[in-house]
Amino acid sequence: MKRLLLSALLTVPMLLASCGGSAKNDALVVPTDMPEICKGIDFVSQPDMREDCGVRPVRFQSYKNVPMQRYLIMPKSASLVKTNGKVELRLPNMLPIPVSENVSQGIDFSQEKRLEYVKNRMIYKELFPPGQSRIQMFKLEIPLDMGGQQALCFNLPEVKVDNRKRSHMGKEVESLDCADFDNIVARFEKR
């Protein structure tokens, strides 16, 4: 009887210790507004950085609405975020922009790929056509993980400032056909 009680007392702490540890395959909740210094850190191999960067493990996959994201090289602090099966482009001080189906299927949002920056290219143009207001637009060339490249073009509409209303909402960005982007640049860019 004493042996049975002693073995039960020894196995309970070992069982609790094995359940309390974290596995290598823990799913992590990575915030979308993470500081610049925390981007690109492997929080599995460096668990001491988790608390400083606001990363926490998800137990039992209880939080299904945590977005997966991949950071872009340019513009700074831009990222592709996957929410509800759709991918959107998030730029600083801008409203989220939904992207095409090609990008959402071509970019991998796995735990391993999350640490890699998407090595995209950005072309920004600010043009001053004679007799018209200035045109601000940019083109993002995003390499896909499945191979190939996808171009996304956007127009930044002129913001009208109302001194009576000052808010800190994000600006809207208009989607633009990339053929139109190339035509406008060819037509109005000074050589």
> What pLDDT was estimated at residue 139?
92
Q: Are 78 and 110 in contact (CB under 8 A)?
A: no
> What's residue 17's pLDDT?
41
CA–CA distances in Å: residue 23 to residues 27, 28, 137? 9, 11, 46
User: For the chain (length 191 residues), average pLDDT per consecutive 10?
Assistant: 51 43 60 78 82 76 66 88 85 85 83 83 89 87 88 83 59 85 85 58
Q: What is the predicted pLDDT for the residue at 160? A: 65
Q: Give the CA distances from residue 125 to residues 46, 118, 137, in Å, rounded to whole numbers and listed in that order.
A: 40, 22, 5
Predicted local distance difference test score (pLDDT) of residue 166: 59
Kindly state the DSSP code that residue 114 receives in the 8-state scheme.
G
| DSSP H stretches of helix in 74-142 | 101-106
